[in-house]
Amino acid sequence: MIHPSEQLDDDVHQRVRLGILALLNNVTRADFAHLKSTLNTSDGNLGRHLRVLEDAGFVDITKVVDGRRPRTWVKITREGRTALRREIEALKEIVAFVEGESDRVRQTGRSLARDSSTA
């Protein structure tokens, strides 16, 4: 049996990157400043995560000058939506796995052996 965590995508499964894709999933596009403030991250941190997502083909980044002010717009791609959907499904499977184990332990009254050094 393959553990559900094997299905997690390393390019997506990180707090900021998952947050970026989740935010972009329901909008046409978002600007850098909005992503930064919503995800509570720094310019450099957000920029690095956007680069990872862009390299994976999950977002498109457009830089424009709006009047005298430069703006960076980010848009999720079809591949990004697919990756987000797969990530959510993998997370649901992990939750089901954990809840299934918890239910089995409760029903049988048995506990799984654990290493006391990690408990």
The ranges assigned to domains in the chain are 4-106
pTM value is: 0.78
pLDDT per position as a tens digit, 13-65:
789 999 999 999 999 999 999 999 999 999 999 999 999 999 999 999 999 99
DSSP assignment, residue 73? E
CATH class entry, domain 4-106? mainly alpha
Rounded alpha-carbon distances, angstroms, from residue 61 to 13, 35, 54, 58: 20, 13, 7, 10
Instruction: Assess contact for 21 and 83: CB atoms under 8 A.
Output: yes
